[in-house]
């Protein structure tokens, strides 16, 4: 069964600190892996997307890693800001016919406190 599991479920950090969010998946056939940021009451916004051959991808203070052998990914946030408070969702894409089907993790809810 295609599944995406994220940890921790929730996280509280102080402004300026770094944090790392984890994502484990069992999805086949694998197409790509994305990290989305979702602010409360808004739609998800893509942060990074990685294919099978990519190990690391950065987007400003966000750095995602992918280990396709162990089927694990992480999202590292550097020098956190109050605006980073949101849910971070790991989404793995599986090829299904002519389109990609997305399998969503439950998300990690991050709260950055001053």
Closer by beta carbon to another protein, 16 or else 29:
29
Question: Does 92 help bind another protein (rule: CB under 8 A)?
Answer: no
Question: Does 30 help bind another protein (rule: CB under 8 A)?
Answer: no
Among 25, 33, 84, 105, binds another protein (CB under 8 A): 105
Closer by beta carbon to another protein, 19 or else 44:
44
Shortest distance, position 22 Cβ to another protein, whole Å: 15
3-state SS string over 59-84?
ECCEEEEEECCCCEEEEEECCCCHHH
| 15/24 Cα distance (integer angstroms) | 27
Range 28-46 burial, b when 16+ CB lie within 10 A, else e: eebbbbbbbbeeeeeebee
Among 77, 86, 89, 112, binds another protein (CB under 8 A): 89
Closer by beta carbon to another protein, 3 or else 78:
3
């Amino acid at each position: 069964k295609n599944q995406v599991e994220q940890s921790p479920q929730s996280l509280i950090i102080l402004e300026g600190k770094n944090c790392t969010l984890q994502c484990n998946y069992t999805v086949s056939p694998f197409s790509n892996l994305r990290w989305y940021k979702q602010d409360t009451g808004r739609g998800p916004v893509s942060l990074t997307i990685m294919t099978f051959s990519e190990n690391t991808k950065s987007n400003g203070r966000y750095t995602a890693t992918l280990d396709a052998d162990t089927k694990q990914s992480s999202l590292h946030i550097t020098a956190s800001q109050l605006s980073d408070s949101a849910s971070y969702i790991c989404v793995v894409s599986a090829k299904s016919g002519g389109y990609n089907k997305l399998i969503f993790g439950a998300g990690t809810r991050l709260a950055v406190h001053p």
